[in-house]
Amino acid sequence: MLTALTPQAPDKILALMAAFKQDTRADKIDLGVGVYKDATGLTPVMRAVKAAERQLVETQDTKVYTGLAGDPAFADALSTLVLGEDRPRDRLAAVATPGGTGAIRQGLELIRMAAPEATVWLSNPTWPNHPAIIDYLGMPSSSYRYFDTATGGVDFDGMMSDLEGVAPGDAVILHGCCHNPTGANLTLDQWGEVAALLERRGAVPFIDIAYQGFGDGVEADAAGTRAMIAAVPEAIIAASCSKNFGIYRERTGLLMAAAPSAERLAVTQGAMATLNRLNFSFPPDHGARVVTMILTDDALRADWLAELEDVRLGMLTLREALAAALRDRVGSDRFGFLAAHRGMFSRLGASPEQVEAMRRDHGVYMVGDSRMNIAGLNERTVPMLADAIVAAGV
Protein backbone atom coordinates (compact mmCIF):
# COMPACT_ATOMS: atom_id res chain seq x y z
CA MET A 1 0.00 0.00 0.00
CA LEU A 2 2.53 2.61 1.09
CA THR A 3 4.59 2.02 -2.02
CA ALA A 4 1.74 3.62 -3.97
CA LEU A 5 2.19 6.96 -2.21
CA THR A 6 3.65 9.76 -4.27
CA PRO A 7 5.93 12.53 -2.94
CA GLN A 8 4.06 15.60 -1.73
CA ALA A 9 5.09 19.10 -2.71
CA PRO A 10 7.15 20.63 0.10
CA ASP A 11 5.56 23.45 2.08
CA LYS A 12 7.15 26.66 0.80
CA ILE A 13 7.24 28.38 4.18
CA LEU A 14 8.73 25.34 5.94
CA ALA A 15 11.35 25.13 3.19
CA LEU A 16 12.09 28.83 3.68
CA MET A 17 12.52 28.25 7.42
CA ALA A 18 15.00 25.46 6.74
CA ALA A 19 16.99 27.61 4.32
CA PHE A 20 17.11 30.45 6.85
CA LYS A 21 18.50 28.14 9.55
CA GLN A 22 21.23 26.96 7.20
CA ASP A 23 22.28 30.51 6.32
CA THR A 24 25.39 31.39 8.36
CA ARG A 25 25.20 35.16 7.84
CA ALA A 26 24.91 37.05 11.13
CA ASP A 27 22.72 39.82 9.70
CA LYS A 28 20.10 37.61 8.01
CA ILE A 29 16.42 38.59 8.45
CA ASP A 30 13.55 36.09 8.72
CA LEU A 31 10.33 37.60 7.36
CA GLY A 32 8.83 34.29 6.27
CA VAL A 33 7.49 32.30 9.21
CA GLY A 34 4.01 33.44 10.24
CA VAL A 35 4.45 33.86 13.99
CA TYR A 36 4.75 36.98 16.10
CA LYS A 37 8.26 37.83 17.32
CA ASP A 38 9.36 40.52 19.73
CA ALA A 39 12.36 42.80 19.21
CA THR A 40 14.72 40.04 20.36
CA GLY A 41 13.37 37.55 17.82
CA LEU A 42 11.49 35.45 20.39
CA THR A 43 7.81 34.53 20.60
CA PRO A 44 7.24 35.06 24.33
CA VAL A 45 4.61 33.53 26.57
CA MET A 46 2.24 36.33 27.51
CA ARG A 47 2.08 37.38 31.16
CA ALA A 48 -1.61 36.55 31.54
CA VAL A 49 -1.07 33.13 29.98
CA LYS A 50 1.70 32.37 32.49
CA ALA A 51 -0.48 33.49 35.37
CA ALA A 52 -3.50 31.51 34.19
CA GLU A 53 -1.39 28.40 33.70
CA ARG A 54 -0.02 28.67 37.24
CA GLN A 55 -3.55 28.87 38.58
CA LEU A 56 -4.62 25.96 36.40
CA VAL A 57 -1.80 23.70 37.60
CA GLU A 58 -2.70 24.46 41.22
CA THR A 59 -6.45 23.97 40.92
CA GLN A 60 -7.11 21.46 38.13
CA ASP A 61 -8.07 18.09 39.59
CA THR A 62 -8.74 16.01 36.47
CA LYS A 63 -7.62 15.55 32.87
CA VAL A 64 -10.76 13.72 31.79
CA TYR A 65 -12.36 14.58 28.45
CA THR A 66 -14.59 17.63 28.33
CA GLY A 67 -17.13 16.90 25.58
CA LEU A 68 -17.29 16.59 21.82
CA ALA A 69 -17.81 20.34 21.54
CA GLY A 70 -15.26 21.21 24.22
CA ASP A 71 -15.93 23.21 27.37
CA PRO A 72 -19.08 25.36 26.94
CA ALA A 73 -17.43 28.10 28.99
CA PHE A 74 -14.70 28.42 26.35
CA ALA A 75 -17.25 28.71 23.55
CA ASP A 76 -19.15 31.32 25.53
CA ALA A 77 -16.04 33.38 26.36
CA LEU A 78 -14.44 33.32 22.90
CA SER A 79 -17.69 33.84 20.99
CA THR A 80 -18.30 36.92 23.15
CA LEU A 81 -14.80 38.23 22.35
CA VAL A 82 -15.37 37.77 18.62
CA LEU A 83 -19.06 38.57 18.25
CA GLY A 84 -19.73 40.78 21.26
CA GLU A 85 -22.38 40.67 23.95
CA ASP A 86 -25.10 41.02 21.31
CA ARG A 87 -24.16 37.77 19.56
CA PRO A 88 -27.15 35.67 18.44
CA ARG A 89 -27.14 33.24 21.37
CA ASP A 90 -30.40 31.59 20.36
CA ARG A 91 -28.99 30.43 17.02
CA LEU A 92 -25.21 30.21 17.57
CA ALA A 93 -23.62 26.76 17.50
CA ALA A 94 -19.97 26.36 18.53
CA VAL A 95 -17.35 23.65 18.94
CA ALA A 96 -13.74 23.82 20.09
CA THR A 97 -11.13 22.72 17.55
CA PRO A 98 -7.38 22.04 17.33
CA GLY A 99 -6.38 25.59 16.40
CA GLY A 100 -7.74 27.92 13.77
CA THR A 101 -6.72 25.48 11.03
CA GLY A 102 -8.86 22.82 12.71
CA ALA A 103 -11.77 25.27 12.74
CA ILE A 104 -11.30 25.97 9.03
CA ARG A 105 -11.21 22.25 8.26
CA GLN A 106 -14.30 21.54 10.33
CA GLY A 107 -16.13 24.49 8.77
CA LEU A 108 -15.39 23.19 5.28
CA GLU A 109 -16.50 19.70 6.35
CA LEU A 110 -19.74 21.25 7.61
CA ILE A 111 -20.31 22.93 4.25
CA ARG A 112 -19.62 19.68 2.42
CA MET A 113 -22.01 17.80 4.72
CA ALA A 114 -24.79 20.35 4.23
CA ALA A 115 -24.30 21.24 0.55
CA PRO A 116 -21.71 19.13 -1.27
CA GLU A 117 -22.39 20.98 -4.52
CA ALA A 118 -21.67 24.42 -3.03
CA THR A 119 -18.77 26.40 -4.44
CA VAL A 120 -16.34 27.90 -1.93
CA TRP A 121 -15.10 31.33 -2.99
CA LEU A 122 -11.63 32.55 -1.98
CA SER A 123 -9.92 35.91 -2.13
CA ASN A 124 -7.08 36.19 -4.61
CA PRO A 125 -4.66 35.85 -2.90
CA THR A 126 -5.49 34.02 0.32
CA TRP A 127 -3.82 31.90 3.00
CA PRO A 128 -2.44 28.86 1.11
CA ASN A 129 -4.08 26.37 3.46
CA HIS A 130 -7.54 27.55 2.38
CA PRO A 131 -7.32 26.20 -1.20
CA ALA A 132 -5.15 23.27 -0.12
CA ILE A 133 -7.82 21.91 2.24
CA ILE A 134 -10.62 22.64 -0.21
CA ASP A 135 -8.81 20.79 -2.99
CA TYR A 136 -8.06 17.84 -0.72
CA LEU A 137 -11.74 17.60 0.21
CA GLY A 138 -12.68 17.69 -3.48
CA MET A 139 -14.93 20.73 -3.07
CA PRO A 140 -15.74 23.10 -5.93
CA SER A 141 -13.99 26.44 -5.58
CA SER A 142 -13.63 29.78 -7.29
CA SER A 143 -11.81 33.03 -6.56
CA TYR A 144 -12.67 36.71 -6.37
CA ARG A 145 -10.36 39.64 -6.95
CA TYR A 146 -9.08 41.20 -3.75
CA PHE A 147 -5.61 42.75 -3.83
CA ASP A 148 -4.70 45.69 -6.05
CA THR A 149 -0.99 45.32 -6.76
CA ALA A 150 -0.79 48.85 -8.13
CA THR A 151 -2.03 50.56 -4.97
CA GLY A 152 -1.28 47.93 -2.32
CA GLY A 153 -4.93 48.16 -1.25
CA VAL A 154 -8.15 46.25 -1.79
CA ASP A 155 -9.56 46.00 -5.33
CA PHE A 156 -13.05 46.50 -3.97
CA ASP A 157 -14.75 47.11 -7.30
CA GLY A 158 -13.22 43.92 -8.69
CA MET A 159 -14.20 42.02 -5.56
CA MET A 160 -17.82 43.12 -5.71
CA SER A 161 -18.02 42.44 -9.44
CA ASP A 162 -16.73 38.90 -8.99
CA LEU A 163 -18.98 38.17 -6.01
CA GLU A 164 -22.00 38.93 -8.16
CA GLY A 165 -21.28 35.48 -9.58
CA VAL A 166 -21.92 33.59 -6.33
CA ALA A 167 -24.90 31.27 -6.38
CA PRO A 168 -27.42 30.67 -3.59
CA GLY A 169 -25.84 28.35 -1.04
CA ASP A 170 -22.25 29.09 -2.06
CA ALA A 171 -19.77 29.91 0.71
CA VAL A 172 -17.47 32.93 0.59
CA ILE A 173 -14.33 32.90 2.74
CA LEU A 174 -13.51 36.33 4.14
CA HIS A 175 -10.61 37.35 6.38
CA GLY A 176 -12.07 38.96 9.49
CA CYS A 177 -9.11 41.33 9.86
CA CYS A 178 -5.40 41.56 9.04
CA HIS A 179 -5.72 39.85 5.66
CA ASN A 180 -3.17 37.09 5.12
CA PRO A 181 -1.03 37.46 3.01
CA THR A 182 -1.58 41.07 1.95
CA GLY A 183 -2.36 43.09 5.10
CA ALA A 184 -4.99 45.04 3.09
CA ASN A 185 -8.37 45.16 4.81
CA LEU A 186 -11.95 46.09 4.03
CA THR A 187 -13.37 49.20 5.66
CA LEU A 188 -16.45 48.81 7.84
CA ASP A 189 -18.58 50.41 5.12
CA GLN A 190 -17.21 47.88 2.63
CA TRP A 191 -18.07 45.06 5.01
CA GLY A 192 -21.63 46.35 4.94
CA GLU A 193 -21.70 46.31 1.16
CA VAL A 194 -20.33 42.77 1.01
CA ALA A 195 -22.89 41.65 3.59
CA ALA A 196 -25.74 43.16 1.56
CA LEU A 197 -24.48 41.45 -1.60
CA LEU A 198 -24.18 38.03 0.05
CA GLU A 199 -27.59 38.36 1.67
CA ARG A 200 -29.11 39.30 -1.68
CA ARG A 201 -27.37 36.45 -3.49
CA GLY A 202 -28.21 33.90 -0.79
CA ALA A 203 -24.54 33.03 -0.17
CA VAL A 204 -23.04 32.11 3.20
CA PRO A 205 -20.05 34.05 4.58
CA PHE A 206 -17.28 31.95 6.11
CA ILE A 207 -15.14 34.32 8.17
CA ASP A 208 -11.62 33.35 9.17
CA ILE A 209 -10.62 35.60 12.07
CA ALA A 210 -7.14 34.64 13.21
CA TYR A 211 -5.58 37.99 14.17
CA GLN A 212 -8.13 39.80 16.33
CA GLY A 213 -6.27 42.49 18.26
CA PHE A 214 -3.32 42.68 15.87
CA GLY A 215 -4.83 45.32 13.55
CA ASP A 216 -6.74 48.30 14.95
CA GLY A 217 -7.64 46.81 18.34
CA VAL A 218 -9.73 43.94 19.73
CA GLU A 219 -13.09 45.62 19.21
CA ALA A 220 -12.32 47.34 15.91
CA ASP A 221 -10.89 44.15 14.40
CA ALA A 222 -14.15 42.30 15.09
CA ALA A 223 -16.44 45.05 13.78
CA GLY A 224 -16.68 43.67 10.24
CA THR A 225 -17.45 40.16 11.44
CA ARG A 226 -20.14 41.46 13.78
CA ALA A 227 -21.70 43.56 11.03
CA MET A 228 -21.81 40.52 8.77
CA ILE A 229 -23.44 38.29 11.39
CA ALA A 230 -26.10 40.92 12.02
CA ALA A 231 -26.91 41.19 8.32
CA VAL A 232 -27.19 37.59 7.08
CA PRO A 233 -29.32 34.63 8.16
CA GLU A 234 -26.46 32.11 8.12
CA ALA A 235 -22.72 32.42 8.69
CA ILE A 236 -19.70 30.35 9.67
CA ILE A 237 -16.82 31.78 11.73
CA ALA A 238 -13.44 30.18 12.46
CA ALA A 239 -11.52 31.84 15.31
CA SER A 240 -7.94 31.20 16.41
CA CYS A 241 -6.22 31.96 19.72
CA SER A 242 -2.72 31.20 18.42
CA LYS A 243 -1.70 34.77 17.68
CA ASN A 244 -3.56 37.07 20.06
CA PHE A 245 -2.92 34.80 23.06
CA GLY A 246 0.45 33.57 21.78
CA ILE A 247 -0.45 29.91 22.38
CA TYR A 248 0.46 28.52 18.97
CA ARG A 249 1.46 25.06 20.16
CA GLU A 250 -1.63 24.61 22.35
CA ARG A 251 -3.81 24.43 19.19
CA THR A 252 -6.77 26.45 20.44
CA GLY A 253 -9.58 27.38 18.08
CA LEU A 254 -13.35 27.68 17.87
CA LEU A 255 -15.76 27.03 15.02
CA MET A 256 -19.04 28.94 15.21
CA ALA A 257 -22.08 28.73 12.98
CA ALA A 258 -25.01 31.14 13.06
CA ALA A 259 -28.01 28.99 12.17
CA PRO A 260 -30.92 30.51 10.22
CA SER A 261 -33.28 30.01 13.17
CA ALA A 262 -33.40 28.84 16.76
CA GLU A 263 -35.15 25.71 15.50
CA ARG A 264 -32.11 24.77 13.39
CA LEU A 265 -29.64 25.35 16.22
CA ALA A 266 -29.78 21.84 17.70
CA VAL A 267 -29.31 20.19 14.30
CA THR A 268 -26.39 22.47 13.46
CA GLN A 269 -24.75 21.92 16.85
CA GLY A 270 -25.22 18.17 16.50
CA ALA A 271 -23.64 18.11 13.05
CA MET A 272 -20.61 20.05 14.27
CA ALA A 273 -20.19 17.76 17.28
CA THR A 274 -20.40 14.72 15.00
CA LEU A 275 -17.66 16.12 12.77
CA ASN A 276 -15.47 16.59 15.83
CA ARG A 277 -16.12 12.98 16.80
CA LEU A 278 -15.21 11.70 13.35
CA ASN A 279 -12.04 13.78 13.01
CA PHE A 280 -10.46 13.83 16.46
CA SER A 281 -13.14 12.92 19.03
CA PHE A 282 -12.57 15.41 21.84
CA PRO A 283 -10.80 18.73 21.21
CA PRO A 284 -7.72 19.76 23.23
CA ASP A 285 -8.55 21.64 26.41
CA HIS A 286 -5.44 23.17 28.00
CA GLY A 287 -5.24 26.26 25.79
CA ALA A 288 -9.01 26.63 25.74
CA ARG A 289 -9.16 26.60 29.53
CA VAL A 290 -6.33 29.13 29.81
CA VAL A 291 -8.14 31.45 27.39
CA THR A 292 -11.39 31.03 29.32
CA MET A 293 -9.65 31.91 32.59
CA ILE A 294 -8.12 35.03 31.05
CA LEU A 295 -11.35 36.25 29.47
CA THR A 296 -13.44 35.70 32.61
CA ASP A 297 -11.02 37.15 35.18
CA ASP A 298 -10.93 40.95 35.28
CA ALA A 299 -7.27 41.24 36.29
CA LEU A 300 -6.01 38.64 33.82
CA ARG A 301 -8.10 40.09 31.02
CA ALA A 302 -6.82 43.61 31.66
CA ASP A 303 -3.20 42.44 31.67
CA TRP A 304 -3.75 40.42 28.47
CA LEU A 305 -5.36 43.36 26.70
CA ALA A 306 -2.51 45.66 27.77
CA GLU A 307 0.17 43.30 26.48
CA LEU A 308 -1.76 42.63 23.27
CA GLU A 309 -2.01 46.39 22.69
CA ASP A 310 1.77 46.68 23.13
CA VAL A 311 2.20 43.96 20.49
CA ARG A 312 -0.17 45.74 18.09
CA LEU A 313 1.44 49.12 18.52
CA GLY A 314 4.89 47.60 18.14
CA MET A 315 3.99 46.16 14.74
CA LEU A 316 2.39 49.44 13.69
CA THR A 317 5.56 51.30 14.67
CA LEU A 318 7.64 48.93 12.54
CA ARG A 319 5.29 49.46 9.58
CA GLU A 320 5.56 53.21 9.86
CA ALA A 321 9.33 53.06 10.27
CA LEU A 322 9.76 50.89 7.18
CA ALA A 323 7.49 53.11 5.08
CA ALA A 324 9.46 56.17 6.25
CA ALA A 325 12.82 54.52 5.55
CA LEU A 326 11.72 53.66 2.03
CA ARG A 327 10.33 57.15 1.51
CA ASP A 328 13.75 58.56 2.39
CA ARG A 329 15.48 56.23 -0.04
CA VAL A 330 13.19 56.45 -3.08
CA GLY A 331 11.99 60.02 -2.68
CA SER A 332 8.31 59.15 -2.93
CA ASP A 333 5.50 57.62 -0.89
CA ARG A 334 4.94 54.66 -3.19
CA PHE A 335 5.55 52.29 -0.27
CA GLY A 336 3.11 54.16 1.94
CA PHE A 337 0.69 51.24 1.75
CA LEU A 338 2.96 49.36 4.18
CA ALA A 339 1.95 51.78 6.94
CA ALA A 340 -1.72 51.48 5.97
CA HIS A 341 -1.74 47.68 6.12
CA ARG A 342 -2.61 45.94 9.36
CA GLY A 343 -1.53 42.77 11.15
CA MET A 344 1.66 40.79 10.76
CA PHE A 345 1.74 40.56 6.98
CA SER A 346 2.16 42.76 3.95
CA ARG A 347 2.65 41.88 0.32
CA LEU A 348 5.51 44.04 -0.88
CA GLY A 349 4.85 43.75 -4.61
CA ALA A 350 8.25 42.32 -5.51
CA SER A 351 8.74 39.75 -8.26
CA PRO A 352 10.07 36.27 -7.41
CA GLU A 353 13.38 37.32 -8.95
CA GLN A 354 13.57 40.38 -6.72
CA VAL A 355 12.68 38.26 -3.67
CA GLU A 356 15.48 35.87 -4.59
CA ALA A 357 17.92 38.76 -5.03
CA MET A 358 17.10 40.06 -1.54
CA ARG A 359 17.72 36.60 -0.10
CA ARG A 360 20.91 36.01 -2.06
CA ASP A 361 22.51 39.42 -1.65
CA HIS A 362 21.15 40.62 1.69
CA GLY A 363 20.01 37.57 3.66
CA VAL A 364 16.38 38.74 3.61
CA TYR A 365 13.99 35.78 3.66
CA MET A 366 10.38 36.27 2.59
CA VAL A 367 7.86 34.10 0.73
CA GLY A 368 8.28 34.07 -3.06
CA ASP A 369 5.13 36.13 -3.65
CA SER A 370 6.77 38.86 -1.47
CA ARG A 371 4.59 38.30 1.57
CA MET A 372 6.63 39.42 4.54
CA ASN A 373 6.07 39.14 8.27
CA ILE A 374 6.45 42.65 9.69
CA ALA A 375 6.86 41.17 13.18
CA GLY A 376 10.16 39.67 12.00
CA LEU A 377 11.68 43.15 11.97
CA ASN A 378 13.15 45.30 14.71
CA GLU A 379 14.62 48.78 14.99
CA ARG A 380 18.01 47.58 13.78
CA THR A 381 16.81 45.59 10.77
CA VAL A 382 14.26 48.08 9.35
CA PRO A 383 16.93 50.14 7.53
CA MET A 384 18.65 46.94 6.40
CA LEU A 385 15.42 45.74 4.79
CA ALA A 386 14.81 49.13 3.20
CA ASP A 387 18.29 49.01 1.66
CA ALA A 388 17.66 45.48 0.34
CA ILE A 389 14.31 46.48 -1.20
CA VAL A 390 15.86 49.43 -3.02
CA ALA A 391 18.91 47.43 -4.13
CA ALA A 392 16.65 44.73 -5.60
CA GLY A 393 14.83 47.33 -7.67
CA VAL A 394 11.40 46.75 -6.16
Please give the full DSSP string across 356-381, using - where no structure is assigned: HHHHHHH-EE--TT-EEEGGG--TTH
Q: Is 302 a catalytic residue?
A: no
Rounded Cα distance between 36 and 368, Å, is: 20
Q: Exactly one of 127, 191, 386, 392 is catalytic; which is it?
A: 127
Q: Report the Cα 85 to chain-centroid distance in Å.
A: 22
Rounded Cα distance between 387 and 365, Å, is: 14
Residues 6+ apart with CB under 8 A from 378: 39, 40, 41, 318
Crossing angle of helices 381-391/352-362, nearest 10°?
130
Q: Exactly one of 155, 170, 208, 303 is catalytic; which is it?
A: 208
Q: Is 155 a catalytic residue?
A: no
Q: Is 11 a catalytic residue?
A: no
Q: Is 63 a catalytic residue?
A: no
Rounded Cα distance between 202 and 150, Å, is: 32
Q: Exactly one of 75, 210, 321, 392 is catalytic; which is it?
A: 210
Say if CB 195 and CB 185 are below 8 A apart.
Answer: no
Rounded Cα distance between 194 and 200, Å, is: 10
Long-range contacts of 156-159 (CB under 8 A, 24+ apart): 156/186, 156/190, 159/123, 159/194
Q: Which residues belong to the active site?
A: 127, 208, 210, 243
